[in-house]
Structure 1
Amino acid sequence: MRTASAALEARTDMRSRGISDSEGELALQVDGSLPITSHIVLDANATTLRGARRHGGSELGIEIAPRYVTSSDGWDFSAGARGHVFIDAGELDYIEIEGSVSRTLGPAWLTLGASYAPSQDAIGGDNLYLSADIGAGIPGSPLALYAGIGQTIGSTNDAERAVRLRPDGDYTNWYLAVERSRLNFAIGMELSGTSIDQDSARDTRYWDRHTGTRLAGYMRVSF
């Protein structure tokens, strides 16, 4: 059976799918994972949002994600739901259904994931996010390399709120990262970006301009 875990992380810019969740500023996140049974796991995190416009000026975001996990023939499978709650932001909370499949080969791993948010007023339509992430530890070294790419697509019934997850319509995001870890402490750098047009004018209150290429640093302590 899996064991409970927790971590505290600080980032110079807390990004999600290539878009800042913290107005491009330093943010903190605490997260934890609690196994309920051998197949049911409850994940949760809390993040300082620094009054992010895309989340209605909220200062704190909370995610709660129960999921079912299993393994077969070297593959790990996960399926569940994720609720996004934004404190003091009005009716901007939303939910996603998500699933992933992962494989580890020696020091390397691959994860393919999908998250779907059914049409909700909080996000001005529906939203589908597809992703692929890879990582590998460098043998004989405390360093690990990570990379990933994602595609966001969806429909719009409220253009003002749709920019929360798709600021310029459907888009692609990517990231490259290097991390050094020792015992329960890790430090790293991550370069990320999106295909979102940085020159497009925006007149909606939920528009966040922090969608371009950005190098961010982070530190994490695990428990």
Structure 2
Amino acid sequence: MTDRKTLILAAASLAAAIPATPAIAQDRTDAALLVEATTDHRRRGLSWSDGDPALDVYGSVTVSGVDIAARAVSTRNSARHGGADAAIDLIAGISEDAGPFTLRGRVIGHFFPGSDDTAYGELNGEVGGSLGPVQVDLSASYAPEQSSIGGDNLYLSARGSVGVPATPWTLSAHVGRSTGSVDDPVRANRLRPGGSYTDWGVSAEYVIGPATVGARYTGTNVRFDTPAPPIADRTNSGDRIALFASFGF
């Protein structure tokens, strides 16, 4: 059964989108679609596709300053998500320029069709800007206490990216930290296998018109001091290099 707090966050997403509806006819609407194939779909250093190849489809539309997006990823019967074959993210948010910085706030609902009591919601805030040739983004995501994740979860991260001059290459790196409270020690392993942990990664992307190809390395300091439950997906929380190809419309 879907957690009550997840429903509240999903309702907030819908509420954020409603004020934009009457203005569709006269205000500018921007839309985008991105399709990516990857050898392993990973988030925060953890595999969401059971370590297997995955397809990721992301669509977004901005209407009257409100960003609305949806994302669907094949999760390949992932133990982390209760055996679900897909993850669907519904996102609503706003962004605002503040001098040289851009501020963003979002409400995100994560849903896993065919798997019981796995949906959860989180709030995200981000600030980004340029430091010379480097784009820097600082982000905080908070998932309130929910039974599906065994407590609450806070993720703080920093990311930097830079284009290589006179080439189609972009290089980026990130570091993040996941912490939170524990109500259910088994389910808490879903987003924090082995307890609080740090993740990091670097990537290289080559842009060819609307297409991008590249590689991502991710790693974590996840450690298991006791036997891990299946939901921790123990074999898919270590170092990994994933190849990907994407096409944007």
Same-fold status (TM-score > 0.5) = yes
The 5 Å alignment of 1:1-223 reads: 3-37=30-64, 39-105=65-131, 107-197=133-223, 200-202=226-228, 204-209=229-234, 210-223=236-249
- TM superposition shift of 1:200: 4.9
- Structure 1 window deviating more from structure 2 (162-171 vs 189-198): it is 189-198
Q: Deviations over 1:174-213 (max 9, x none)?
A: 00001100110000011111010167521x2312020001
AA partner of residue 139 (structure 1): P
Distance (Å, rounded) in 2 between the aligned partners of 1:90 and 1:201: 24
- TM superposition shift of 1:68: 1.1
AA partner of residue 241 (structure 2): L
- TM superposition shift of 1:107: 4.2
SS at match of 2:180: strand
- TM superposition shift of 1:154: 0.2
Q: Is the 8 A contact 1:107 1:139 kept in 2?
A: no
Distance (Å, rounded) in 2 between the aligned partners of 1:64 and 1:18: 21
Distance (Å, rounded) in 1 between the aligned partners of 2:29 and 2:167: 27
Q: How many residues align?
A: 221
- TM superposition shift of 1:215: 0.8
Task: Determine which structure has the larger strand proportion and give its number.
Answer: 1
AA partner of residue 180 (structure 2): G
Q: Is the 8 A contact 2:194 2:225 kept in 1?
A: no
Q: Structure 1: any 5+ residue segments left out of the alignment? A: none
Distance (Å, rounded) in 1 between the aligned partners of 2:59 and 2:180: 30
- TM superposition shift of 1:44: 1.3
Distance (Å, rounded) in 2 between the aligned partners of 1:33 and 1:163: 31
Q: Report which of the two structures shows the higher radius of gyration computed on alpha carbons.
A: 2
SS at match of 2:231: coil
Identical aligned pairs, as a percentage? 37
SS at match of 1:133: strand
RMSD: 1.3
AA partner of residue 77 (structure 1): L
Q: Structure 2: any 5+ residue segments left out of the alignment? A: 1-27
Q: Is the 8 A contact 1:81 1:96 kept in 2?
A: yes
AA partner of residue 153 (structure 1): T
Distance (Å, rounded) in 2 between the aligned partners of 1:151 and 1:142: 31
AA partner of residue 124 (structure 1): G
Q: Is the 8 A contact 2:178 2:198 kept in 1?
A: yes
Q: Is the 8 A contact 1:198 1:212 kept in 2?
A: no
- Structure 1 window deviating more from structure 2 (105-114 vs 22-31): it is 105-114
Please identify runs of 4+ aligned residues in structure 1 that moved more than 3 A: none
AA partner of residue 207 (structure 1): A
- TM superposition shift of 1:108: 2.4
Q: Is the 8 A contact 1:107 1:138 kept in 2?
A: no
AA partner of residue 17 (structure 1): R
